[in-house]
Structure 1
Amino acid sequence: MKEINVRRTGTHGRPVVLLHPLALSGAVWDPVAEYLGTRHQVLALDARGHGESAWDGAEFTVEDMAADAAAVIEDFGAGPADVIGLSMGGSTALALAVARPDLVHRLVLADATAWYGPNRVAEWAERAERALKLDRHAQLEFQRDRWFADAFRAEHPEEVERVCDIFVATDSKAHAAACRALGALDARDRLGDVRAETLVLVGAEDYATPPSMARELAAGIAGARLRVLEHARHLSLLERPDLWPVVAAHFAGEPS
């Protein structure tokens, strides 16, 4: 898949690739990219059909999105890169680390999973239908509650609305296709293939990909470290800027 849009921040240091959640875009990473860009070249990708990336309308898989990320890393001559994936981006980052270990130096998987459970295909098919049938604005109440803890929504309405604006601008058909891709995901038997040093993060209040899913990731990836984050839901890396130095330390190989 060509024509994957990349937002670049910073010009030096080992590259960091940022992979975004479902129905958002690389723009969601702007504050994180600004922080990491002081010491890294940061590449925030738009998944196919999201943001400004092209999409031919065909069905795709999480593995396809991982292949897109691999192509970007190779095109930029940027590998091996440090990789952060949040939610859908975390599943994509996991697939990338499994398929192309040569391109992934260190890995952060935030609010992500290798598998959405035994009813995943039907449940994600229902979400795909909602994505197609409901007006984008009508979906926001569900998304706000899922993304952010109550206190964060009250204290940072401008950040919540920034993310909402990205969601509303997302193509509903691409959103639905990505839902079906997540429903098809089952990478549990490949966790042992991840060779990158891995940090797993999850919001304690995340009910989209709850801590039990993060624990399964951490248990399956050799040497992975797990942090369960109080007062955070599904977009933990946006809710908790205090984690950004932790991520930077992980990428530097320092204790955090």
Structure 2
Amino acid sequence: MNDLSARAPDAIHVVRSGPPGASPIVFLHALGLDLGIWDAQFAEFAGDRNVVALDLPGHGLSGAPDGAPTFEAIAMQVADTLASLDIASAHVIGISFGGMVAQALAIEQPSVVRSLTLVATSCTFPETVRQMLRDRARATRDGGMAIMAEAHLARWFPEAFRAQHPEVSDRFRKLLHRQDPSFHASLWELVATLDLKDRLTARFAETAIPLMVIVGEDDASAPVAAGQLMCDQARDAVLHVVPKCGHFPPVEYPERFNAFLREFLRD
């Protein structure tokens, strides 16, 4: 990224690029990774947008949170970070865990969210999925990040993409290996509690926040039905399904993803 890096309050690491006076876009990454997953989006939008990406607490160059993490606390750290950058409101894009944080931000601080783009994420889970997530947390504590990294990569990316882009798997694997297993497990325990549907419905009823949802056709972690459920909560929503795509549309199909985002922001 050809950008400016800075430290924000509470040890949140920020990367910023583009014209400072332009309309802000804020990117929130997935669990276990860092802001570098948005490289293709920085390259696309930094020419005419004020582009900001954060390392969420406990990720990348950001400090770990005090105590057990919550979606509300992380969302407030995002809001405080944007305030420190003199950003009153922004188009917020979150993928996977970052999409859950983005939903919490829209619920807790709706004035900060000019529009919401949710990618490969969910607003709630059935109990069977919650138990699977708790089991994943337990496996992380027992087996460590080396084992879990391979399981995540197999779940996130289709086999064909991993074969064609080993550099992506290598990059993501190294990021995952840097995570503390106990903290990583605590995040999965947090994800297992996700239940924002009713609060999201109430927020969209009160505030007409434009919503775009993007899902991968082959994403088992955040299927099309989960994306449709979030769209059903909003008055102004659009759903895009990316064919032959897994859990990371911005990485697997960056040109298509960027086109969806540019059209949404223009409208």
The two structures share one fold, judged by TM-score above 0.5: yes
Counterpart in the other structure of 1:8: 16
**SS of 1:225's equivalent?**
strand
Letter matched to residue 196 of structure 1: I
Spell out, residue by residue over 1:56-106, the C-alpha distance to the aligned partner (whole angstroms, 9 max, x if none).
Answer: 451011122111111111111112101100000011111111211110111
Counterpart in the other structure of 1:216: 229
Counterpart in the other structure of 2:241: 228
- 5+ residue gaps, structure 2, are 1-8
Q: Which has the higher contact order (CA 8 A, sep 6+)?
A: 1
Letter matched to residue 131 of structure 1: T
- Per the TM alignment, residue 119 of structure 1 is displaced from its structure 2 partner at its CA by 3.7
- C-alpha distance in structure 2 between counterparts of 1:65 and 1:33, whole Å: 23
- Per the TM alignment, residue 120 of structure 1 is displaced from its structure 2 partner at its CA by 4.7
Change (3 A) 1:173 1:37: farther
Q: Which moved more, 1:151-160 or 1:106-115?
A: 151-160
**SS of 1:50's equivalent?**
coil
Percent identity of equivalent pairs: 28
- Per the TM alignment, residue 33 of structure 1 is displaced from its structure 2 partner at its CA by 2.1
Matched, 1:79 2:81: no
**SS of 2:258's equivalent?**
helix
Map 1:123-162; keep pairs closer than 5 Å: 123-162=132-171
**SS of 1:18's equivalent?**
strand
- C-alpha distance in structure 1 between counterparts of 2:65 and 2:239, whole Å: 37
Matched, 1:29 2:48: no
**SS of 1:5's equivalent?**
strand
- Aligned 8 A contact 2:13 2:54 in 1: yes
- Per the TM alignment, residue 124 of structure 1 is displaced from its structure 2 partner at its CA by 2.4
Map 1:90-239; keep pairs closer than 5 Å: 90-192=99-201, 193-194=203-204, 195-239=208-252
**SS of 2:192's equivalent?**
helix
- C-alpha distance in structure 2 between counterparts of 1:57 and 1:218, whole Å: 33
Letter matched to residue 141 of structure 1: E
- Aligned 8 A contact 2:33 2:175 in 1: yes
Change (3 A) 1:56 1:225: closer
